[in-house]
Each structure stands twice: as C-alpha cells, then as structure tokens.
Amino acid sequence: MARPKNRVGYGLPVILAIVLHVGVLAITLLRWPTSDPEPTSSAIVKATLVRTETATDKAQRAQEAQASAAEAKKQQKADQAEQAARKAEAEKQQQAEAVARKKAEADKQREAELQALKQAREQAKEAARRRAEEAARAARQKAEAEKQRQAEEAARKKAEAEKQRQAEEAARKKAEAEKQRQAEEAARKKAEAEKQRQAEEAARKKAEAEAQAKRAAEAARQASEQALAQSIAGEEQAIANARQASEAANGFKNLVKRAVEQAWIIPSSAGNQQRAVVRITLLPTGELVDASIRESSGNAAFDRSVLQAVERAAPFREMQSLPTSAQRQFREFNLDFNPEDVR
C-alpha cells in the first residue's frame, strides 16, 4: 500500500503563519494612509499661506505704487498745460505747478509755456482792444492777471519784477485792481487808452522775455526738483497705504482683544505682574485654527484661562470684512494678556 509521506514538517506551516501576519499588518498599514492626507494637507495649506504672504504683499504694494505714480504723472502733465494756458493765479497755484512740473521734460515744458504765453498775449491784445472800445473790465482783469503772474515770476529774483509783483499783490487784494481799473477808466476818458495799451504791451513783452530767461535758468532746477518730488509723491502714497492698512489692522486687533477680554475669566491666583502672550492662528473666515502660549506667565492656571478665553471668544467673524492684505496679516498674530488691562 503506497502511503503518502506521513510526517508533516513545520516549515510550510510557519511560512504560512508568517505570510498571514504580514498580510494583516499590510492591511492595517494600507488602510491608514488613506485617512491620513486630510489633516496633513490642511497643515500644509496653513504653513504655505503664512509664509508666502509677505513676499506677495510687497510685490503687490510696489506694483500699486508704480501704477498710481504713473497715473499721477499723466494727470500732472495735463494739469500743467491747462494751468499754464489759463490760470495764472497765486503762489499756491505756482507751488502746485512746481510739484506738477517735476515730471515733464524741461524742453517740452518750456515750449508749452511759450505757446501759452503767446496765446495769452494775443488774448490780452484783443481784450485791450475790446476794452478800449467797450471797456470790458473783466477781460482786462484777466489779461492783467496774466501779466501779473509773469511779472511776479520775473520779479522773484530781479528788482524789476518786484514792482510787478507788488502790482499783482495789489490786484490780488483787489485794492490795486480797482485802482488800475480807475486809472484805466481815467485813461479811457482822456483818450490815452492807446498809449497805455502800448505801454502795457511793451511791459508785457519785457516781462515775457524775462520770464523766458528765468524759465531757462529754472529748467535745470526743475529737473532736480522733479526727481525729489516724485520720490516724495511715492513716499506719500506708501505712507497713505500703510496708514490705511494699519488702521484696519489696529481696529481688528482691538476688536479681537475686547472680545477675548470679555470672555476671560481671570483666575484668582493671577497677579497683576503676570503676563502671557498667545499666538493665534485664524482662518480667513475668522475661525480659530490654533491658539498656543508664546510666552508663558509661569502660572499654569493663568495660561489655561487665557487659552480658554481665546477659544470661547473664537469665531472672529469681523475677519471677513477686512481687506485681503490685512487678512493675511492676521492669519497669525500675537495677543498680549495682562490682568491690569481688564481690572
């Protein structure tokens, strides 16, 4: 009778048992990674958001500043042409002009101004003629004002210009303007109007020449002024941006602090000198991601009460209404706790 091998060795059973255990282990290992990614992914998102914020913010701000500067330049050019052509009043305006002129090339500006002066001269001629015939006071005043501006510009450095500036000042106060008007009226009565006009024209021409010379001299100065003013404008813009952001930020921070203080139950063991700094991490929706003690007060109960206060005050919905740049800033921030503030 041919019998099969009787003895059963332990080799195969041991291998089978080990394979079985490895299989069970593999199942437990394989099932875990599928549930793992959720938490880790959220952690990654959190980390990257906090890190990238500064870099992008800077670039954005720089871009904004450049864009606004370019816009300002364009506007300034346009304003310059207009102002040079039409309005010639007051030192205020001139200052504005000086600020505005920064950008423009010196030659271009000078040409524009020359043209403007020519136009003004023609206008003045016509006005004077009209005045002589119809005594259009308003027109004449305008012409006078133009002349005065030119005279004033010239007189700023020269002795002759001083006279004209005095006249202009008088006109500005309207006392001199009336005087002149009276004088003109008298002249008209005396039929010396033409003479006066000629004199005025001569004076105007002289003033124009002087103004031109002065402008040429000022061209260089303006070029340097331009750079300065541009930097000033940029700085102002940056300051304004920063102020706006910091105002919003302070507002939100105060809000959070007030909410947390209201929710804070100060433990009796806390002394006034104790102080804890809490690091708060928020979502863009204002929900609390994490709050941890950054600087411990040394009193465990105190630290715990602080954390509980933050958690109780938690969803800071005002976060949603913040501008994006400020929101980034508040993804992570510190809060300073001191019982003295509340008591």
User: What residues line the site for other proteins (CB under 8 A)?
Assistant: 1, 3-4, 6, 8-10, 12-14, 16-18, 20-21, 24, 28-29, 32, 35-36, 38-40, 300, 303-304
Find the shortest distance in angstroms from Cβ 39 to other proteins: 4
Q: Which of 268, 274, 315 is nearest to 293 (CA)?
A: 274
Find the shortest distance in angstroms from Cβ 13 to other proteins: 4
Which one, 6 or 272, has the nearer CB to other proteins?
A: 6
Find the shortest distance in angstroms from Cβ 231 to other proteins: 51
Q: Which residues of 320-339 are buried (b: 16+ CB within 10 A; e: fewer)?
A: eebeebbbbbbbbeebebeb
Which one, 223 or 314, has the nearer CB to other proteins?
A: 314
Which one, 161 or 280, has the nearer CB to other proteins?
A: 280
Which one, 5 or 317, has the nearer CB to other proteins?
A: 5
Cα–Cα distance, 133 to 124 (Å, whole number): 14
Which one, 36 or 107, has the nearer CB to other proteins?
A: 36
Find the shortest distance in angstroms from Cβ 62 to other proteins: 39
CB-CB contact of 236 with 264 (8 Å): no
Which one, 12 or 265, has the nearer CB to other proteins?
A: 12
Q: Which two tokens stand for residue 133?
A: 């015939």
Find the shortest distance in angstroms from Cβ 311 to other proteins: 12
Which one, 8 or 191, has the nearer CB to other proteins?
A: 8
Find the shortest distance in angstroms from Cβ 19 to other proteins: 10
Which one, 12 or 191, has the nearer CB to other proteins?
A: 12
Find the shortest distance in angstroms from Cβ 326 to other proteins: 30
Find the shortest distance in angstroms from Cβ 240 to other proteins: 44
Which one, 13 or 271, has the nearer CB to other proteins?
A: 13
Q: Which of 49, 52, 106, 50 is nearest to 80 (CA)?
A: 106
Find the shortest distance in angstroms from Cβ 292 to other proteins: 12
